[in-house]
Amino acid sequence: MITIIIGTNRPSARTRRVATLYGELLHEQGVAYQLLDLANLPPDFTAVALYTNAGRHDGFNQLCELANTADKLVFVVPEYNGSFPGVLKAFIDGLPYPGGIRGKKAALVGLSTGVQGGILALSHLTDILMYLGTAVLPARVRLPAIDKFLSEDGELTNPLYKELLQDQVRQLLAF
Protein backbone atom coordinates (compact mmCIF):
# COMPACT_ATOMS: atom_id res chain seq x y z
CA MET A 1 0.00 0.00 0.00
CA ILE A 2 1.25 3.44 -0.90
CA THR A 3 0.17 6.35 1.25
CA ILE A 4 -0.04 9.75 -0.42
CA ILE A 5 0.35 12.53 2.12
CA ILE A 6 -1.38 15.79 1.29
CA GLY A 7 1.20 18.13 2.83
CA THR A 8 -1.13 20.95 3.88
CA ASN A 9 -4.37 21.38 5.78
CA ARG A 10 -5.45 24.35 3.66
CA PRO A 11 -9.05 23.99 2.44
CA SER A 12 -9.42 23.69 -1.35
CA ALA A 13 -5.67 23.29 -1.77
CA ARG A 14 -4.14 22.57 -5.16
CA THR A 15 -2.02 20.04 -3.30
CA ARG A 16 -5.10 17.89 -2.76
CA ARG A 17 -5.88 17.94 -6.49
CA VAL A 18 -2.32 16.92 -7.38
CA ALA A 19 -2.38 14.15 -4.74
CA THR A 20 -5.64 12.81 -6.19
CA LEU A 21 -4.11 12.85 -9.67
CA TYR A 22 -1.08 10.97 -8.34
CA GLY A 23 -3.43 8.37 -6.89
CA GLU A 24 -5.08 7.96 -10.28
CA LEU A 25 -1.66 7.34 -11.85
CA LEU A 26 -0.97 4.65 -9.24
CA HIS A 27 -4.39 3.12 -9.88
CA GLU A 28 -3.59 2.95 -13.61
CA GLN A 29 -0.57 0.83 -12.65
CA GLY A 30 -2.76 -1.48 -10.55
CA VAL A 31 -1.29 -0.21 -7.28
CA ALA A 32 -3.35 0.26 -4.14
CA TYR A 33 -3.05 3.64 -2.45
CA GLN A 34 -4.64 5.70 0.28
CA LEU A 35 -4.71 9.43 0.92
CA LEU A 36 -3.53 10.89 4.20
CA ASP A 37 -5.09 14.33 4.24
CA LEU A 38 -3.68 16.72 6.83
CA ALA A 39 -7.00 18.59 6.66
CA ASN A 40 -8.28 15.70 8.79
CA LEU A 41 -5.89 16.44 11.64
CA PRO A 42 -7.64 17.30 14.89
CA PRO A 43 -7.55 21.11 15.20
CA ASP A 44 -5.90 20.88 18.60
CA PHE A 45 -3.43 18.09 17.82
CA THR A 46 -0.31 20.10 18.64
CA ALA A 47 -1.63 20.60 22.18
CA VAL A 48 -3.23 17.21 22.85
CA ALA A 49 -1.52 14.58 20.68
CA LEU A 50 2.21 15.30 20.87
CA TYR A 51 5.03 14.96 23.39
CA THR A 52 3.75 13.71 26.76
CA ASN A 53 0.38 12.96 25.15
CA ALA A 54 1.86 10.86 22.32
CA GLY A 55 -0.37 7.94 21.39
CA ARG A 56 -3.35 9.19 23.38
CA HIS A 57 -5.41 10.92 20.71
CA ASP A 58 -7.56 8.61 18.57
CA GLY A 59 -8.03 11.11 15.74
CA PHE A 60 -4.32 11.75 15.43
CA ASN A 61 -3.49 8.06 15.83
CA GLN A 62 -5.73 7.16 12.89
CA LEU A 63 -3.69 9.41 10.60
CA CYS A 64 -0.40 8.13 12.04
CA GLU A 65 -1.53 4.61 11.29
CA LEU A 66 -1.95 5.50 7.59
CA ALA A 67 1.73 6.48 7.53
CA ASN A 68 2.93 3.62 9.73
CA THR A 69 1.25 0.87 7.71
CA ALA A 70 2.34 2.18 4.30
CA ASP A 71 4.91 0.27 2.28
CA LYS A 72 5.91 3.52 0.56
CA LEU A 73 5.00 7.18 0.95
CA VAL A 74 4.40 10.01 -1.48
CA PHE A 75 4.59 13.53 -0.08
CA VAL A 76 2.79 16.15 -2.18
CA VAL A 77 4.01 19.39 -0.72
CA PRO A 78 3.28 23.04 -1.46
CA GLU A 79 5.91 25.67 -0.85
CA TYR A 80 5.02 28.02 1.99
CA ASN A 81 7.42 30.87 2.77
CA GLY A 82 10.45 29.13 1.29
CA SER A 83 9.80 25.76 2.94
CA PHE A 84 6.96 23.31 3.50
CA PRO A 85 3.89 23.87 5.69
CA GLY A 86 4.40 23.83 9.44
CA VAL A 87 1.43 21.52 9.85
CA LEU A 88 3.36 18.81 7.97
CA LYS A 89 6.37 19.27 10.27
CA ALA A 90 4.12 19.08 13.32
CA PHE A 91 2.53 15.88 11.95
CA ILE A 92 5.95 14.34 11.32
CA ASP A 93 7.05 15.37 14.82
CA GLY A 94 4.05 13.49 16.23
CA LEU A 95 4.91 10.20 14.51
CA PRO A 96 6.43 7.53 16.75
CA TYR A 97 10.20 7.96 17.14
CA PRO A 98 12.21 5.96 16.55
CA GLY A 99 10.03 4.06 14.18
CA GLY A 100 7.06 5.61 12.49
CA ILE A 101 8.31 6.04 8.95
CA ARG A 102 11.86 4.74 9.56
CA GLY A 103 12.91 2.26 6.90
CA LYS A 104 10.23 3.35 4.44
CA LYS A 105 10.78 4.72 0.96
CA ALA A 106 9.32 8.03 -0.14
CA ALA A 107 8.76 10.07 -3.29
CA LEU A 108 8.41 13.84 -3.15
CA VAL A 109 6.34 16.18 -5.31
CA GLY A 110 6.65 19.92 -4.81
CA LEU A 111 4.40 22.61 -6.15
CA SER A 112 4.40 26.36 -6.04
CA THR A 113 2.91 29.34 -7.77
CA GLY A 114 6.48 30.60 -8.24
CA VAL A 115 9.12 29.47 -10.70
CA GLN A 116 11.08 27.10 -8.47
CA GLY A 117 8.37 24.49 -7.98
CA GLY A 118 8.94 24.06 -4.27
CA ILE A 119 12.62 23.08 -4.50
CA LEU A 120 13.38 24.62 -1.09
CA ALA A 121 10.45 22.81 0.48
CA LEU A 122 11.60 19.51 -1.02
CA SER A 123 15.16 20.10 0.11
CA HIS A 124 14.09 20.79 3.70
CA LEU A 125 11.74 17.81 3.74
CA THR A 126 14.43 15.53 2.28
CA ASP A 127 16.79 16.46 5.12
CA ILE A 128 14.17 15.62 7.73
CA LEU A 129 13.12 12.34 6.12
CA MET A 130 16.72 11.19 5.75
CA TYR A 131 17.35 12.03 9.42
CA LEU A 132 14.37 9.84 10.31
CA GLY A 133 15.73 6.93 8.25
CA THR A 134 13.32 7.28 5.35
CA ALA A 135 14.92 6.73 1.94
CA VAL A 136 13.99 9.44 -0.56
CA LEU A 137 13.68 8.70 -4.27
CA PRO A 138 16.22 10.93 -6.05
CA ALA A 139 13.67 11.88 -8.75
CA ARG A 140 11.86 14.68 -6.95
CA VAL A 141 9.17 16.26 -9.12
CA ARG A 142 8.78 20.04 -9.07
CA LEU A 143 5.67 21.70 -10.48
CA PRO A 144 6.27 25.47 -10.77
CA ALA A 145 3.52 27.95 -11.62
CA ILE A 146 0.97 25.31 -10.65
CA ASP A 147 -1.82 27.88 -10.64
CA LYS A 148 -1.41 28.22 -14.42
CA PHE A 149 -1.33 24.51 -15.20
CA LEU A 150 -3.86 22.86 -12.86
CA SER A 151 -7.54 23.14 -13.65
CA GLU A 152 -10.28 23.35 -11.01
CA ASP A 153 -11.25 19.74 -11.77
CA GLY A 154 -7.68 18.54 -11.11
CA GLU A 155 -6.37 18.14 -14.65
CA LEU A 156 -2.84 19.15 -15.49
CA THR A 157 -2.77 21.22 -18.66
CA ASN A 158 1.00 21.05 -19.01
CA PRO A 159 1.82 17.66 -20.60
CA LEU A 160 5.36 17.76 -19.20
CA TYR A 161 4.01 17.83 -15.64
CA LYS A 162 1.95 14.69 -16.17
CA GLU A 163 4.92 13.00 -17.86
CA LEU A 164 7.15 13.86 -14.88
CA LEU A 165 4.60 12.40 -12.46
CA GLN A 166 4.17 9.24 -14.55
CA ASP A 167 7.94 8.76 -14.65
CA GLN A 168 8.20 9.22 -10.91
CA VAL A 169 5.43 6.66 -10.34
CA ARG A 170 7.39 4.11 -12.41
CA GLN A 171 10.57 4.87 -10.45
CA LEU A 172 8.78 4.68 -7.11
CA LEU A 173 7.33 1.28 -7.94
CA ALA A 174 10.82 -0.01 -8.79
CA PHE A 175 12.41 1.69 -5.71
| Residue 47: per-residue pLDDT | 82
Q: Which domain holds residue 49?
A: 2-174
Chain centre distance of CA 85? 11
| Residue 43: per-residue pLDDT | 87
Question: How many other C-beta atoms are found inside a 10 Å radius of the C-beta of residue 61?
Answer: 15
Contact 111, 76 (CB under 8 A): yes
Chain centre distance of CA 66? 12
The alpha-carbon radius of gyration of the chain (Å, integer) is 15
Number of domains composing the chain: 1
Please list the rounded mean pLDDT of every run of 10 residues in the chain (175 residues).
97 94 97 96 83 75 92 97 95 87 97 94 97 97 96 92 98 98
| Residue 108: per-residue pLDDT | 98
Query: What span, in angstroms and rounded, lies between the C-alpha atoms of 78 and 144?
Result: 10
Residue 79, classed as helix, strand or coil, is coil
CATH, residue 88: 3.40.50.360
Residue 23, classed as helix, strand or coil, is helix
